[in-house]
Amino acid sequence: MPALTLDRLEKHYPGPTAHTAAKSVSLSVHDGEFISLLGPSGCGKTTVLRMVAGLIEPTSGRILVDGRDITALPTNKRNIGLVFQSYALFPHMSVFENVAFGLRRQGVQGHELKRRVDQALADVRLSALGDRMPRQLSGGQQQRVAVARSIAPRPSILLFDEPLSNLDASLRDEMQIELKRLQREVGITTLFVTHDQGEAMSMSDRVCVLAHGVVQQFDTPEAIYHRPATGFVASFIGRPNRLAGRVARTPSGGAGVQLDDGPVLAASGADGLAPGSPVDVVIRQEDICFGETPSSHAHALSGRVAMRSFVGARVQYLLSFDGIELLAEAATNGPHAGLSVDAPARVSIDPQHVYVTPAAPAGVRAAP
């Protein structure tokens, strides 16, 4: 039996600015899974999380936890833990009392209360800080207190609403590991909302990509990256170049796309589409290979470097080819990291990495 089931969950907002925040969202989450809801701002991910938490009432659909329908239950009857972006710690309470708050409301007292608070603090590696006040803690420590407070009552489901967005980059990376470790050790089924694909891909067992309130793909990080189910997923995951064109044949007679004001590229994804039909094309920066062609099927392009940017572990290039420009990247310690502006550049692109979908209305494309 799934630990969490969302059955055609919908949320409509009426009135002059009527819109649908979530449309027929259906998910089945296994016990102990770490699931991320991923998408750009306004895609519906937080709306879905808040409906599960009981903070927003669905327009239709059902929410089941361990097979029990909780759709109509108030938040305090759902046995769900929620960690907010702001952590929402009580500034006048010690760390111990913050963690004990939910347990006291459940009627837990005495030795059992201390035991469970101590265990929750141990789980987040804060055993020595129970007497401190929130203002005496770092941002990462405050977040761990919020997590300890949520897991102390032993919830069936743990919800995170973009909990890492307030942290600096290095601490965010550290906390990704900490949260994943904790979730594995405690074994709580987790729903994690984020707009950061790096967080979602590195932490999750499966990722649900949302756009305009609709589930685009629900699968493993590997499948979402290598086998995107929709044009939106292809353009949202990774570092994409977004182009437009029409279905065409390559000089060798294979499937391809004629890019607007650009060359014809071999594209295995164009197979089966009507010749001449308009398409959206996505080529990820990391799929553009410098130098030698990696396979006999790859399409080679020759152009020049229009711009160069050093970004730490990689060098990003803006390359100009026959009327189009593409962003590409090379490893800082690799052989192609030293190209200068106006230098010639030869790259190749595997047809399997040219993602082609029928042209979609501008409103459903990923934001740049």
What's the pLDDT tens digit per position in 36-66?
Answer: 999 999 999 999 999 999 999 999 999 999 9
215 and 253 both lie in a single domain:
no
Q: Are 237 and 211 in contact (CB under 8 A)?
A: no
Q: Are 147 and 175 in contact (CB under 8 A)?
A: no
What the block records as the tokens of 57 is: 């009432």
54 and 199 both lie in a single domain:
yes
User: Helical H runs in 8-109?
Assistant: 45-53, 95-105
pLDDT the model gives residue 270: 86
**Would you call 96 helix, strand, or coil by DSSP?**
helix
51 and 66 both lie in a single domain:
yes
The full DSSP string for 108-160 is --HHHHHHHHHHHHHHTT-GGGTT--GGGS-HHHHHHHHHHHHHTT--SEEEE
Residue 81 clears pLDDT 60, i.e. is over it: yes
20 and 150 both lie in a single domain:
yes
Q: Which CATH number does the domain housing residue 200 bear?
A: 3.40.50.300
217 and 238 both lie in a single domain:
no
Domain C-terminal end among 186, 204, 231: 231
Any residues with CB less than 8 A from the CB of 233 and at least 6 apart, and which? 209, 216, 217, 224
316 and 284 both lie in a single domain:
yes
What is the pTM for the complete model shown?
Answer: 0.86
Which pLDDT band holds residue 171 (cuts at 50, 70, 90)? confident
169 and 61 both lie in a single domain:
yes
What's the pLDDT tens digit per position in 95-124?
Answer: 999 999 999 989 999 999 999 999 999 988
The structural domain count of the chain equals 2
Instruction: Say what angle helices 95-105 and 110-123 make with each other, to 10 degrees.
Output: 120
Task: Tell me the C-alpha distance between 362 and 236, whole Å.
Answer: 14
Residue 363 clears pLDDT 60, i.e. is over it: no
Domain C-terminal end among 171, 196, 231: 231
pLDDT the model gives residue 365: 47
- Report the chain's mean pLDDT, rounded to a whole number: 90
214: Cα within 13 Å, side-chain hemisphere: 8
Average of per-residue pLDDT across 126-144: 92
Which pLDDT band holds residue 362 (cuts at 50, 70, 90)? low
pLDDT the model gives residue 84: 84
Domain C-terminal end among 188, 204, 231: 231
226 and 248 both lie in a single domain:
no
Return the biggest CA–CA distance within the chain: 79
239 and 223 both lie in a single domain:
no
Number of Cβ within a 10 Å radius of residue 24: 15
